[in-house]
A and B are shown apart, each in its own frame.
Chain A
Amino acid sequence: MRTQSDSIVDIQGLNKWFGALHVLHDIDLTVASGARVVVCGPSGSGKSTLIRCINGLENYQKGTLRLAGTTLGLNARETAAARRQTGMVFQSFNLFPHLTVLSNCTLALRRVAGKGRGEAEDIAMAHLEKVRIPEKAMSYPGQLSGGQQQRVAIARALCLNPRIMLFDEPTSALDPEMIKEVLDVMVALARDGMTMVCVTHEMGFAREVADQVVFMDGGCILDRAPARDFFGSAGHPRSRLFLETILKH
């Protein structure tokens, strides 16, 4: 039985420790289908850890995390199946340097989704076109700029047709002039109705696409608000302070 079939991620009372270090405190977060959640907060506040829990890259010790109707961590096979509903984009791209752009995209299609070569390449090319980089299909990641690599990483994550995309500071490793090309792709993705959880400090992006902004500090969610309110006058004093510091740059 699937309750709340309209929420893809349902986190309740989530706690995580790294050894003795308590990094996530009683996190509650629901991500409805089609929602765009932006997570921000100072360094070390647990943003990456939270987003990595959502696709099971990190385990958790207390609370529940339901992804696409499956409680993660109970059963390895079910957890793996649920993870298949997610796509993840990392700060450092993490493209496979020994494979061409096209092979980066087709690898999971062939090995995980079991597609044949031709079909996999068609799907991959369609996504490379979506991120506006089809002409680099035969290049290697090392031959691309950072912005191009990140767009390829987005295409690669989209290939398995995920229901939710997770972004962990996708533009923080980029030179300023490349940030826009990546954000444009992400905005287009949001317009297409993709469910997204995005750790970012790009407040322009948050203002444009987010329907919820979550502010974390010290492993807690201190503030959450619809984007309009978050950037308005309301909100937690700590998130106001944080907003002021990052908007100053």
Chain B
Amino acid sequence: MGFDLAFALSSVPTILGAVGTTFCVALVSCIGAAAIGFFFEMVRRAGGVAGLTTGFVIDFIRSTPVLAWLYFLYFVLPFYGIRLGSMTVGVMGLSLYYSGYLAEVFKAGIDAIPKGQSEAARALSLSRRDSVIHVIAPQMLRNIAAPLGNYFVSILKATPYLAVLAVPEMLGRAFDIASETYRYTEPLVVAGLIFLALALVISHGVKRLERRLLAVGAR
């Protein structure tokens, strides 16, 4: 079974047809995971009962498989009258799951900021909110650009899990072609290459962001 280039090329348009879905799901999940993860980390940092609980939730999320979250949201929630579309469930599942990891990334990024920074903000009477927005978050982003980019690529690579919810993402589409034609190599290679291209786009974007953040206030 060799590699039939003509067949591979003929599968490209069909697979590319799903690239939009994959990219959108990944993008919205990245934003969702970052937003929830940042919120989690802020609550955890504030301490108290809410902080401890959130710490537990973060650890719990990180010790469960992502598929468990997808199944749970898709099959269990309807029992309680919450019926969501498969795309919504997919995005929610990925966002929640990766928020646990991103909370840890944010924690490391904030821990690396010298204590004097938030003290200076307090001494200037900035509110906690202004201190986070104007002092902490920008420096945190600068500290974590690289791992943040890695997790964004991980989220992209996790989109094929959504096949279990019948979300028409890219790898599923490639697999459909494969099972119809009994030729697996070409569609899977094509899908793999497109994933590679998307991952490169994401990491290039994050690198540019990192360079810009580092250029500001360069020493």
CB within 8 Å of B: which residues of A?
55, 57, 80, 83-84, 86-88, 90, 92, 94-99, 107-108, 111-112, 140-143, 156-157, 160
Contacts and interface: CB of A to CB of B under 8 A. Distances in A.
A55 B123 contact: yes
B216 interface: yes
A176 B79 CA distance: 73
Most buried by B among A95, A108, A157: A108
B59 interface: no
Nearest to B216: A98
B127 A111 contact: yes
A84 B125 CA distance: 6
Ranked nearest first, the 8 interchain pairs of A and B with the lowest CB-CB distance are: A142-B219, A94-B120, A94-B116, A140-B217, A88-B123, A108-B124, A97-B217, A111-B130
Contacts of A111: 126-127, 130, 134
Nearest to B118: A94
A80 B130 CA distance: 14
A97 B135 CA distance: 9
A107 B127 CA distance: 12
7 contacts: A90-B116, A98-B213, A98-B216, A99-B134, A111-B126, A112-B130, A142-B218
Interface of B: 114, 116-117, 119-120, 122-127, 130, 134-135, 138-139, 142, 213, 216-219
A156 B120 CA distance: 10
A107 B116 contact: no
Given A142-B219, A143-B219, 12 more contacts: A55-B123, A57-B123, A84-B125, A90-B123, A92-B116, A94-B119, A95-B120, A107-B134, A112-B125, A140-B217, A140-B218, A157-B124
Contacts of A112: 124-127, 130
Contacts of A143: 218-219
B142 A96 contact: no
A228 B125 CA distance: 36
A92 B116 CA distance: 8
A87 B106 CA distance: 30
Nearest to B138: A98
Contacts of B127: 111-112
Contacts of B138: 98
Contact of B123 (A96, A141, A157): A157
A57 B119 contact: yes
Contacts of A55: 123
Given A94-B116, A94-B120, A98-B139, A108 B217 contact: no
A138 B124 CA distance: 21
